[in-house]
Amino acid sequence: MTPSSLRQDHAAALQALLGLDGVNYKTNLSKEELFREAIANDRGRVMADGPDDAQKAYPTKLGANGPLVYYTDPTCTGRPVQDTFGVAWPELEEKVWWKSDFQKFDPAKFEALLKRVVAHLNARKSTLYVKDVYCGSDPSYARPYRLVSEYATHSFFCHNMFPKDIAGVTEEEAKRWTMLNVPSFHCDPERDGTRSKRIACLDFRNRLVLVAGRADYCGVVKKSMFTVMNYLLPDLGEMSMHCSANVGKDGDGAILFGLSGTGKTTLSADPERKLIGDDEHAWTGAGVSNLEDGCYAKLIDLDKQAEPVIAAALSMPGTLIENVPALPGKRIEDTDPQEFDLNDDSVTENTRFSYPLEANPMVMEGARGPHPQTIVLLTADAFGVLPPISILDEEQVMYHFVSGFTAKLAGTEVGVTEPKAAFSACFGAPFMAQKPSVYAMRLAEKMKQHKARCVLLNTGWGGGAYGVGKRISIKHTRALLDAALRGDLDANKTEYAMHPVFNLKMPKSCPGVPAEILDPRNTWSDKNAYDAAALALRDLFRKNYEEKGFGKLGIKPVM
């Protein structure tokens, strides 16, 4: 099909689907073309008191041979969770997990809003960038994904992050999802029923995502489709997961669940193992496969020596740097990418970097791997009371999976060292469109079917809470993980002690790890203080369990 006929095909499809008429399409441009288009044409607000026609995208000193640098609206340097909705069609009322970061949106209001956004584009005779990709690398479940965006940058990002040319997907048009991304349209809350002047809204009935207003953070393009797949895959009998995944030399697969700061990306990037992916996966009858074709890494405080892949990719063509500030007194166009101050959080703490999966040195062919033998639930316990590693039975797996616990530091003010518990069901609550028990049941079924083991790996503190104790060394964490992956910690190969508060099985020994740290109480000089801290954390788990109603969803209280 020629470019001209392809544009006509898209125009007809989008006119029928959305009513777009009289707009200009730039369809499936190459990344090199999108690089130039973004710099020339992407315009919007980049400063709080700035105009709405400021330049959004820039080249570096390397020009087209280096990354694209992009700045979001200053009010949207992360996902706009309070402005993220799902259209509450009657058939979805009981099925969808409605919550504060995925709220109901009135169907009539949505249909009226969509018409206004389309009329806005038609009246402006807008130029729209169309990018056709897939979500999912396995044709058995992959969904065609069509991004229709005002910004070339979003099309560029979409090309980076999603698979292309997946052969074997059947009934493509019946499965296709379309995102209409329109930053220039500002919602009217009183008229449109929105919370603010922006919205990101998923319509599961009509396979549509509408993004309008100041919601131009690139992650919206990615995470909206992850939410879609989390809705679809359980109904296919498959498991969708917010996790990293890799494969060892003997073909042993592993998946690592974990919230930000727990070491998910770092631990999965193992020189002895091939990467399937670092963030979003499906576990199907064929094994584990990546939903994506790229990586979207945080850049703030990046240690280039510890993260050489990301450091090298910073200077590669076809990559995207998001919200890293310009150097004082120096134009971005005159800056080498390696010169950027990655510790500068003056725009946002959530600086980001998008690069193709192939930039990693060891990647599984086709971004697919076998059924995992080991499931790792990561937590970074800043209270310093959880064991460095625990072996979980089936009921404990479901409990800790739906709990999705880690502990974060309360803040960065001087003297503020009190840890703060964070619970995110299934280690990705905002993106889980169905109820947590749906995913927990799927995980338990898959683990039982494929005889997978599960460990709770704590990358947090020992000897006391943050500010008193020390973080468990990466050397010891890797030794614990390696032992679990080898099966050294299986029940028939080692002895265990039972934690009296958390009811967790703790190995009494592990190669390369001092035996005394395996029971965290041993590392505290004040045993009474440890006991009190452990009971306090147990009570936080119990409170979260009750507040979330996990008992009513069939999750057993194991703690």
pLDDT digits (tens, 9 = 90+) for 145-182: 999 999 999 999 999 999 999 999 999 999 999 999 99
Fold of 240-284+371-553: Phosphoenolpyruvate Carboxykinase; domain 3 (3.90.228)
For the segment 350-357, the average pLDDT, to the nearest whole number, is 94
Distance of CA 34 to the CA centre of its chain: 24
With bands split at pLDDT 50, 70 and 90, how would you rate the model's confidence at 260? confident
- What DSSP line would sit under 159-183, residue for residue? HHHS----TT--SHHHH-EEEEEET
Is 408 exposed, middle or buried, given 0-12, 13-18 or 19+ CB atoms closer than 10 A?
Answer: middle
Q: State pLDDT tens for residues 517-556.
A: 999 999 999 999 999 999 999 999 999 999 999 999 889 9
Does 410 have pLDDT greater than 70?
no
Closest CA to 136 of 176, 158, 166: 166
Under 8 Å between Cβ of 217 and 76? yes
- Give the rounded percent of residues in the chain with a pLDDT score beyond 90: 88
Q: Which of 22-26, 305-309, 530-534 is least confident?
A: 305-309
pLDDT number for residue 346: 95
Q: Which pair of tokens denotes residue 79?
A: 């996902």
Q: What is the average per-residue pLDDT within 259-285?
A: 89
pLDDT classification of 7: cutoffs 50, 70, 90: low
pLDDT of residue 467: 87
pLDDT given for residue 114 in this prediction: 98
pLDDT given for residue 415 in this prediction: 42
Domain 11-49+77-236 annotated CATH 1.10.3720.10: no
Q: Which residues contact 423 (CB under 8 A, 6 or more apart)?
A: 403, 404, 405, 544, 548
User: Across the chain, what does the average pLDDT equal?
Assistant: 94
Tell me: the pLDDT tens digits for 116-150?
999 999 999 999 999 999 999 999 999 999 999 99
Alpha-carbon span 458 to 528, nearest angstrom = 22
- 6 pLDDT tier (thresholds 50, 70, 90): low
Residue 2: is its pLDDT beyond 60? no
What does the pLDDT look like over 423-435, one tens digit per residue? Answer: 999 999 999 999 9
Instruction: Look at residue 453 and tell me whether its pLDDT is greater than 70.
Output: yes
Tell me the residue type at 302. Answer: L
Query: What pTM was estimated for this model as a whole?
Result: 0.93
Question: Average pLDDT, stretch 246-273?
Answer: 90
Per-residue pLDDT at 268: 86
Return d(Cα 515, Cα 510) in angstroms, integer: 7
Tell me the pLDDT tens digit for each residue of 205-228.
Answer: 999 999 999 999 999 999 999 999
Q: Quickly state the pLDDT bin for 256 (edges 50, 70, 90).
A: very high
Q: How many whole angstroms from its chain centre is CA 297?
A: 10
**Catalytic residue positions, numbered:** 79, 223, 242, 260, 264-265, 279, 352
